[in-house]
Amino acid sequence: MRVTYDAVADAAYIALAGPVGEGEAATTIHSILTPGDRGEVALDFDADDRLLGIEVLHASAVLPAAVLAEAERIG
């Protein structure tokens, strides 16, 4: 598992099965709102319907600070 974080966009990506390249996800479920509407989550699935990764928008409001502190910085 790999967690990346872009502080400018305040977006994190949790890759469950290694890096997920552009266009690699066969299906993405968008606009899942977190409780309290503090953030938004998108789920990426491969062609076999296995979960590849999770994108978290407004990550600093949703994810524990320790997760973001350990995340690889991008952007």
Query: What is the block-wise mean pLDDT of the chain (75 residues), using blocks of 10 residues?
Result: 97 89 88 94 94 97 98 95
In which residue are the tokens 């997920």 written? 20
Residue 75 has a pLDDT of: 83
SS3 35: helix
Predicted model pTM: 0.90
SS3 4: strand
Residue 24 has a pLDDT of: 84
Residue 17 has a pLDDT of: 81
